[in-house]
Amino acid sequence: VFSKIFSHEALESYLPKIQLVIKDTLRAWSSNPEPINVYHEAQKLTFRMAIRVLLGFRIPDEELNRLFEVYQQFVENVFSLPVDLPFSGYRRGIRARETLQKGLEKAIQEKLQNTQGKDYADALDILIESGKEHGKELTMQELKDGTLELIFAAYATTASASTSLIMQLLKHPRVLEKLREELRSKGILHNGCICEGSLRLDNISSLHYLDCVIKEVLRLFTPISGGYRTVLQTFELDGFQIPKGWSVMYSIRDTHDTAPVFKDVDIFDPDRFGQGRSEDKDGRFHYLPFGGGVRTCLGKHLAKLFLKALAIELASTSRFELATRTFPKITLVPVVHPVDGLKVKFFGLDSNQNEILTGTDAMLGATV
């Protein structure tokens, strides 16, 4: 059922909505006179994308912001010790989940009652219809659980990868300019504007350098460290016997760091995935940012589409610069993110890629 949510047809219908959410967010970042904390704002962005695009909820901004704060409290306490005492992280997490589910139930009921003005089938629509196709009407609790699972899957890892993407574009301006060149050559970017109707799924798929950039971000800064699997039959690894039935964890980061196919593993080099080198093509499990095998991440195509849409908007309609002297240190737990936040100043641009003066600068410009 969940696989239908991430089909090619579903992604095609999500794309215009994803673009709209990203455009609105970048406009808000650019209008902020102060530098933004990219990781925190990226979390807001991916939460908004999940609510507005995946689930199709028409929640007012004020209520959406309140739900985001509650959701953060839920996520922060997911890995708490299961000790149900007052003021414990576990208790706070349980209360946050209860508040979230009340808000989600209200949104689901409103969605079921109001089907007017729908121009695409969102993930929740597909979930409900697929349940009916399988002869099972999903209960409200199942809908709330499925909704929360979709938000959770789209949240932290995508926010982490978005932050890493922005940081690498800041560190490597030549990569950003090469992205712009590709967008121009494909007729997507013209005179500082994205050409209307040019961003379709097939067009985005044809942007080979953009694909290399996203792949390299996910290789160097894989959002999650690894995954768990159950051993189906006893096997031997480096002289050690791993018995059937054991739970094992594979490390994505260590795999990327030690895989012999990657040269200069610590260097950000999107060209390693270009046609001339194709370092990810040798062997099945050297490159696995979304896991591997039959249980690879179901949402990987949506995640990559979101990152590509974000990169296109950043390269086309934004100017941004580091607001601190040095780049922040990176922590790996629970997902890759800057320890003290990545502080970045965004500037508004007009249609000719000229910086729009705001606030005091605008006043000084007018005076001059």
Calpha distance 162→44 (Å, rounded): 11
User: How far is residue 155 from each of residues 1, 41, 45, 161, 274, measured CA to CA in Å?
Assistant: 20, 12, 9, 10, 29
Phi first, then psi, for residue 295 (nearest 5°) are -105, 35
Q: Within a 10 A sphere around the Cβ of 146, how many other Cβ atoms?
A: 22
118: confidence class by pLDDT, cuts 50, 70, 90: confident
Calpha distance 143→105 (Å, rounded): 8
**What pLDDT is attached to residue 349?**
63
38-47 per-position pLDDT tens digit? 999 999 999 9
Count CA atoms closer than 13 A to 173's CA, side-chain side: 4
Domain contains 354: no
- Beta carbons within 8 Å of 190's beta carbon, 6+ residues apart: 184
Of residues 363 and 17, which shows the higher confidence score? Answer: 17
Calpha distance 222→231 (Å, rounded): 24
Q: Give mean pLDDT, residues 233-260.
A: 94
143-165 per-position pLDDT tens digit? 999 899 889 888 889 999 999 99
Domain contains 162: yes
Calpha distance 296→229 (Å, rounded): 11
* Average pLDDT of every residue of the chain: 89
**Residue 297 annotated in ligand binding:** yes
Helix axes 38-49, 140-171, angle to 10 degrees: 140
**What pLDDT is attached to residue 134?**
79
**Omega before 260 cis (within 30°)?**
no
Total domain count for the chain?
A: 1
Asked whether residue 362 carries a pLDDT value surpassing 50, the answer given is: no
> Three-state DSSP class for 120?
coil
- Chain-centre distance of CA 6, in angstroms? 14
Domain contains 309: yes
Amino acid identity, position 209: Y
Amino acid identity, position 125: D
Task: Please name which of 163, 178, 170 lies closest in space to residue 218, comparing C-alpha atoms.
Answer: 163
Asked whether residue 122 carries a pLDDT value surpassing 50, the answer given is: yes
Residue 152, domain CATH: 1.10.630.10
**What pLDDT is attached to residue 137?**
85
79: confidence class by pLDDT, cuts 50, 70, 90: confident
Of residues 179 and 348, which shows the higher confidence score? Answer: 179
Calpha distance 97→277 (Å, rounded): 47
**What pLDDT is attached to residue 258?**
93
Asked whether residue 268 carries a pLDDT value surpassing 60, the answer given is: yes
Domain contains 192: yes
Calpha distance 355→364 (Å, rounded): 14
Phi first, then psi, for residue 225 (nearest 5°) are -80, -30
Amino acid identity, position 344: V
**What pLDDT is attached to residue 295?**
85
Asked whether residue 123 carries a pLDDT value surpassing 60, the answer given is: yes
Query: What is the residue whose two structure tokens read 């942007």?
Result: 207
Lowest mean pLDDT among 116-125, 216-225, 271-280, 293-302: 116-125
Domain contains 203: yes
Calpha distance 73→185 (Å, rounded): 45
Task: Please name which of 122, 74, 125, 65 lies closest in space to residue 97, comparing C-alpha atoms.
Answer: 74
**What pLDDT is attached to residue 127?**
86
Which DSSP category does 20 fall into?
H
Domain contains 249: no
Cβ distance 100 to 74 under 8 Å? yes
Lowest mean pLDDT among 6-10, 20-24, 192-196, 307-311: 192-196
Domain contains 72: no
**What pLDDT is attached to residue 154?**
82
**What pLDDT is attached to residue 354?**
53
| Domain coverage including residue 343 | 4-56+122-221+268-275+291-348
Q: Give mean pLDDT, residues 229-253.
A: 95
In the sheet that holds 36-37, the strands lie side by side as 36-37, 343-347, 319-322
> Three-state DSSP class for 175?
helix
Domain contains 260: no
Q: Give mean pLDDT, residues 300-325.
A: 95
Asked whether residue 357 carries a pLDDT value surpassing 60, the answer given is: no
Share of residues in the chain with pLDDT > 70 (%): 94
